[in-house]
Amino acid sequence: MDMDQNNLIRKYNVPGPRYTSYPTVPYWDNDLFSMEKWQEEIFKSFINDNEEVSLYIHLPYCESLCTFCGCNTRITVNHDVEIPYINTVLKEWALYLKLMKKTPVIKEIHLGGGTPTFFKPENLKKLIDGILDTCSTSSDAEFGFEGHPNNTTEQHLQTLYDLGFKRVSFGIQDFDPIVQHAIHRVQTYDSVKTVTETARAIGYTSIGYDIIYGLPFQTISGIEDTVQKVRQLKPDRIAFYSYAHVPWIKPGQRKFSEADLPSDESKRDLYERGRDLLEQSGYVEIGMDHFALKSDSLYKASVNKALHRNFMGYTSQYTSRLIGLGVSAISDLWGAYAQNIKAVEDYIEKVNDGKIPVFKGHILSNQDMILRQHILNIMCKFYTSWSSPGEQSIGLYDGIGRMKDLEKDDLIRFGLYSLEVTEKGKPFMRNICMALDARMQASSTKEVKFSKVV
């Protein structure tokens, strides 16, 4: 890495959001939110818009704790929890159906966690059948799930495929045994190879891998070996994430010390080397931390300027309505957000009482909506523009005023009414969005909520 890049990392490596939404969750105005308003937003959304819905279903259970993980999980080896949890999710969905007033059309389903493949295949079938029996499915719907290579069986893959799932992502993280031991996520290359080949043989059209850089004890030679192994298996898309070290939120990360982590400059070297190898193998960087082969739907959506980003990450499917089901899941009605209760027992109790289990949310203001679109454009297109009055606001121009250093450092380029992220600026997209983040800039707690940008 050259000196200029090192200087940029030192300058811009500050805590910041990943911008799967705007405003980001810590800056929601919960005081102006209520369950009555949330229910009104649901009803309004179906009156004013089409019936298409994306569903995110959070399945929180894991048999063991991966110490790098920042997700909302529940560790247990007791599989008796499966049916009660699934029954609760279906009850929650029924509560939403009562408010929709129209039969929803499912555009997208994503099973996340936790470890969705903790659940037995027949129980996942019960869950998905219970959803699909209540609604229609779009002709171009896309269903995907996250699987652990060690416990995703052929029966899991076949059962979900038969239900309409054609996309699966596997958490690989790193193939180095030393790193795997440190993060408590041990899986062999052979197990990943087997589950990948099984998915392909069944007919899955998009197989994704998650790889993380910045993990404890990672080295350049280790990341080269990991990417070389990934190249051999040729997944369709790759999420190459920066490790988010937030031990004040996730105590499991205290299993290793900060001294075991690569320095900021070394971490960026890991990314640069990994990215170079991926690009040499035909992968195209389509958004922050995401790469895809040209045959994959994410790449095609990127080329067609149709890439979308929401709480599930990047997607080729767009709906203005995302319903999150399950503990801690977040819903997005475009004009409003809401998050479910985070504790499993409280979630189950609330739903069994016949109440939607939301505990906080945010109603977007007009300025929120304008800034949200610009941030979404930057994250998905590396570009945004504001030539019409409806695309302009005080918050936008205040944000532009905070971008002088970004422009001076050649991370962005302005047109008359537009902003473009340069190639040099792509590693710093979170910083660019932070300049536009009016709610974060107005807060007195700017640097306590997030992992560092690099």
Structure tokens at 393: 């606001």
Task: List residues forming the annotated binding site for [4Fe-4S] cluster.
Answer: 62, 66, 69
Of 48, 34, 84, the C-alpha closest to 347 is 84
Q: How far is CA 118 from the centre of its chain?
A: 20
Any idea what the Cα angle at residue 80 is, between residues 74 and 85, rounded to 5°? 60
| Tokens 């300058």, residue located | 11
- Residue 356 backbone phi and psi in degrees, to 5: -60, 130
Cβ neighbours of 77 (radius 10 Å): 9
> Is residue 111 a contact partner of residue 148, using CB atoms and an 8 Å limit?
no
Burial class (CB in 10 A: 0-12, 13-18, 19+), 135: middle
The residues facing 59 across adjacent strands are 113
3-state secondary structure 209-257: EEEEECCCCCCHHHHHHHHHHHHHHCCCEEEEEECCCCCCCCHHHHHCC
> Is residue 403 a contact partner of residue 420, using CB atoms and an 8 Å limit?
no
Task: List residues forming the annotated binding site.
Answer: 56, 62, 66, 68-70, 113-115, 146, 173, 185, 210, 244, 330
Q: Which residues neighbour 229 within 8 Å (Cβ) at sequence distance 6 or greater? A: 175, 189, 192
What is the four-CA torsion angle of 423, 424, 427, 428, rounded to 10 degrees?
Answer: -110
Task: List residues forming the annotated binding site for S-adenosyl-L-methionine.
Answer: 56, 68-70, 113-115, 146, 173, 185, 210, 244, 330
